Amino acid sequence: MGEPDARKLGSLRAAKGDGMVEGDTRLGEVRDLTPELREKGSEAIGHVLEIARIRMFQARFDDALTLLDSAYALPIYELVDARDQAKLLLLKAEVLLYRAVFANNGHDEAFAPIEAAETIGEEQADRRLLADAQAMRAWILCYRELTAGRPRDAVLEPAQKSLDLRREIGDQVGVAESLFLLGLAHEHKALPDVVEAEKLFREALQAADATGEKRWRSYASRHLGWTCMNRGDLDEAFVYLEESLRLRQEIGLVAFLPPAYHAVGLVQLERGELGEALAYCQLAYDLGTEIGMDLYRFMALLPMGEAHEKRGEREEAMDCYQEALEMAPAFGAVFVNEAKEAIERLKNAV
């Protein structure tokens, strides 16, 4: 039968002499499983966050949201660290925002989880969390103002706050994101400061490089590409825009590939590479259709029409412009006018 392990309950034996009677309390210390549950819970939440992030990258926003919401309902949720709870809230805000970007409305819905995350950040005096919340607030404002066709001055304050906090705590990846956001705000404020914006984009690029981070590098490259294009340096623009595209492909950021294809298509159009322009815009159109990003499905049509027009393919060009005109009202009067002008121009051309 073997031998039992050495007695470890000396206290039990000793207790006999103390006249233990019914009603005496604990005989031994029973391990508290709460820390173990908390640790495993955090691990589970970590996996939920990663899965939801991947689904967001794949433009499967509803899947991501359902998953995040189901995590709140788990019995383990109340046990896990408040920071883990806040991470779920921040990611939920991001997913809600991108869903709104695709749907072209509903941006404000993303503020509620941000506010809840901010409350946790304040309670915990967690600067990283507060910085992340400020950055997400900046993103929401950025897309909301863009959709409304308004300048993005409101982005300046949260972007700057997030940058300051991230510098304080040495969050380099976060610094790259905040610099980019700040650049974006300067680029699109009521009185744009493109010089400052370019400087910030370059700093964002450097900060991202220092950590090997690819997402914010892709974003900064994209906007540096636009800056180069605006000043007519098409070759450098192409380099930046193609790099931005490549980085998105490398990290599987499918949700934001259509804008990247579209951008390379545009620069190729400007460079007179009409076949290439058509092909990239076609990719933007096809992927935009597949993942429900109507804005870039629409945005691809005008340069495609122009490329066809320049190749003398009038019928194809007209098809593109007509389709763009049908879609344009959803994206604003500016685009409606642009599509109408293109059609008129094509009709008048001999």
Q: Which is nearer to other proteins, 41 or 158 (CB)?
A: 41
Least distance (Å) between residue 2 CB and other proteins: 5
Q: Indicate the residue among 31 and 212 with the shorter CB distance to other proteins.
A: 31
User: Which residue number, 48 or 184, has a Cβ lying nearer to other proteins?
Assistant: 48
3-class secondary-structure state, position 78: coil
- Chain-centre distance of CA 256, in angstroms? 9
**Least separation in angstroms between CB 347 and other proteins:** 18
Closest contact distance (angstroms) between CB of 332 and other proteins is: 23
Decide whether 107 or 262 has the Cβ nearer to other proteins: 262
Q: Which of 170, 179, 108 is nearest to 141 (CA)?
A: 108
How far apart are the C-alpha atoms of 107 and 96, rounded to whole Å? 7
Using alpha carbons only, give the angle 136, 203, 160 rounded to the nearest 5 degrees: 40
**How far from 240 is each of 185, 196, 216, CA to CA, in Å?**
20, 18, 13
Q: How far is the CB of 47 from other proteins (least distance, A)?
A: 4
> Which pair of tokens denotes residue 196?
């400052």
| Beta carbon nearer to other proteins, 15 or 330 | 15
- Compute the least distance from the CB of residue 41 to other proteins, in Å: 6
Question: In the complex with other proteins, which residue's Cβ is closer, 181 or 324?
Answer: 324
DSSP symbols for 199-239: HHHHHHHHHHHHHT--HHHHHHHHHHHHHHHHTT-HHHHHH
Q: Which two tokens stand for residue 292?
A: 């429900």
**Exposed/middle/buried for 146, CB within 10 Å: 0-12, 13-18, 19+?**
middle
**Phi, psi angle pair for 29, to nearest 5°:** -85, 120
Minimum CB separation of residue 67 from other proteins in Å reads 5
